[in-house]
Amino acid sequence: MADVLPKKTVLKDVKIFKDLQEEIIKTNKCCACGACVAYCSSQKFDVIKMERYTPQYISDANVDNCKECGLCYYICPQTEPLMKHLNEDYRIKDEMGYIQDIVAAKTTDDKIKEMGQDGGLVTTLLTYLFDKNKIDAAIVSEYDEKLQPIPKIIYNKEELLKSSGTRYSISSNILPLTELYNIAQEIIENHHQIYDINQIRMAFVGTPCQCRAVRKMQLLNISPAHVIKYVFGLFCMENFDYEKLFQLVKKETNEDPANITKMNIKKNFFITNKENKVYEVELHKFDEAVRNHCHDCDEFTSRFADISFGGSGAVQQNSMVVIRTEKGEELMKNALISGYIDRFTPKKSTITEWKASKIDLLRRMTNNKIKKS
Ligand SMILES: Cc1cc2nc3c(=O)[nH]c(=O)nc-3n(C[C@H](O)[C@H](O)[C@H](O)COP(=O)(O)OP(=O)(O)OC[C@H]3O[C@@H](n4cnc5c(N)ncnc54)[C@H](O)[C@@H]3O)c2cc1C
């Protein structure tokens, strides 16, 4: 058989990291999610790394280490091959994706209320999952004193508040999975329930492109995404390049990132400094800082998440919550029953209209995003 179909002939059409470089990375379509590097590292192939938000060969000498398996290409959220299957699996028929239910809700925890971006729902549901022993870890995005995002795996709920709120620049949230196998022994020693690192149960928080990459990895059943049990997607109109964003923030407000406590996009950009002064700057003034890959993106509400969260459409201090899977629905229901969250209840007679109007709004916003691209 090997003589009839030599290995190189079979693999000829498989796209590999070189193709990813040519088609996605060099054309600025890479969203720096870190999926390619996380998969390749988990296999210990020693071929690629992430350098300043760009996946690349570790060195020229490592190019030949590539096993040409092609998986980095297939799991990239920006490539086409798996999209048809993924859309079928997640019942996606239009730009909004499958919607099991849509609600607005907020946390009942005062500290999370203060720190959260909108209703603090993401942090609260992660807290619930830790409390109820449904997860052992979560992948979130923390930040340094200059608001530079730090993607990270955390192993207990006490660390959750450090990730609350939104930083509007890229955070390679799949990348931390590269550490999973490196520190496997340490994790096993610290968690008496885990005997094998593959048993660890994680929740993942990320932007639409990042959730898409996680789902592609899960579709192919490849490590290390097999440990992700809950996918929390964030609404995302656009993401920004950190350096360019804060150069423009400085120009518009004269503030340095170290003196900023909160940033929020609600039609315009609202920037709050440590003295509680709020600047409102027109959003288009930051256009130059938008990452190039966002221009091609047709997802706003994270179609591949178990639950998607955003501020758009929600009443003050609530999050808009789009429930997409049975698992997501059960989690929301249990968190509500256990008193972790409060649900906004429109008048009974108007509930159907209310839901339809929210879906309509999000559809319009999604189509605006698509039109912009
Ligand atoms: C780049 C970006 C653009 C967004 N644009 C919109 C928008 O246009 N309209 C809209 O309605 N909502 C948008 N959102 C979502 C919104 O800002 C909130 O994240 C969402 O409403 C959840 O709020 P919360 O209070 O429930 O979350 P919280 O409890 O405050 O938790 C926020 C979670 O977000 C994660 N996070 C923070 N920054 C990042 C980052 N840079 N990348 C990945 N994860 C991060 C943290 O890990 C944390 O777990 C955007 C989010 C991001 C990251």
pLDDT tens-digit readout, 244-259: 999 999 999 999 999 9
Q: State residue 179 phi and psi, 5-degree precision.
A: -80, -15
Distance 259 CA to ligand 1 centre (A): 20
User: Which of 234, 284, 308, 366 should be mutated for ligand 1, with most atoms under 8 A from CB?
Assistant: 234
pLDDT bucket at 10, cuts 50 / 70 / 90: very low
Query: How many helices and strands, by DSSP H and E, does the chain display?
Result: 13, 13
Q: Is the distance from CB of 200 to CB of 137 less than 8 angstroms?
A: yes
What pLDDT does 267 receive?
Answer: 86
CB-CB contact of 202 with 231 (8 Å):
no
Name which residue leads in pLDDT, 84 or 8: 84
9 compared with 75, residue with greater pLDDT: 75
Q: What is the pLDDT of residue 12?
A: 56
Question: What was the pLDDT predicted at 186?
Answer: 85
User: What pLDDT is recorded for position 4?
Assistant: 45
Task: Answer for the pair 211, 302: CB distance below 8 angstroms, yes or no.
Answer: yes
Mean pLDDT, the chain, integer: 93
Query: Kind of pairing, strands 48-51 and 54-57?
Result: antiparallel
User: Helix axis angle, 326-337 relative to 121-131, nearest 10°?
Assistant: 80
Q: Does the pLDDT value for residue 190 go beyond 80?
A: yes
* Residues having CB within 6 Å of any atom of ligand 1: 116-123, 140-141, 149, 163-169, 171, 173, 205-207, 234-237, 239, 265, 309-312, 319
From ligand 1's centre to the CA of 309, what distance in Å?
8
The minimum-distance atom of ligand 1 relative to the CA of 112 is 29
Q: Cα of 297 to ligand 1 centre, how many Å? A: 17
What number does the ligand 1 atom closest to the CA of 121 have? 26
User: What separation in Å is there between the alpha carbon of 25 and the centre of ligand 1?
Assistant: 25
Higher pLDDT, 89 or 194: 89
23 closest CA partner among 63, 65, 55: 55
The closest-lying atom of ligand 1 relative to the alpha carbon of residue 320 is 21
Tokens 């639409």 belong to residue: 208
Q: Please tell me the distance from the alpha carbon of residue 52 to that of residue 307, in angstroms, as a whole number.
A: 30
Of the two residues 10 and 269, the one the predictor is more confident about is: 269
DSSP secondary structure string for all residues of 53-80? TEEEES-GGGGGG-----HHHHH-TT-S
pLDDT of residue 225: 94
Q: Among the atoms of ligand 1, which is closest to the Cα of residue 149? A: 41
- Is 152 strand, coil or helix? strand
Q: Which of 90, 31, 72, 74 is nearest to 302 (CA)?
A: 90
Cα(156)–Cα(175) distance, rounded to whole angstroms?
19
pLDDT in tens, 347-370: 878 999 999 999 999 999 999 999
| 204 in Cβ contact with 214 (< 8 Å) | yes
Contact 211, 204 (CB under 8 A): yes
HSE of 366, CA atoms in CB hemisphere, 13 A: 19
Give CA–CA dist 265/274, Å, rounded: 18
* Predicted confidence band of residue 187 (pLDDT cuts 50, 70, 90): confident
CA of 101 from ligand 1 middle (Å) equals 20
How far apart CA 350 and CA 365 sit, in angstroms, is 22
- As a whole number of angstroms, the distance between CA 320 and CA 361 comes to 11
Q: What's the predicted TM-score (pTM) here? A: 0.95
Range from 188-197, 249-258, 262-271 carrying the lowest mean pLDDT: 188-197
Q: Which pLDDT does position 192 carry in this prediction?
A: 74
Structure tokens at 14: 């498989």
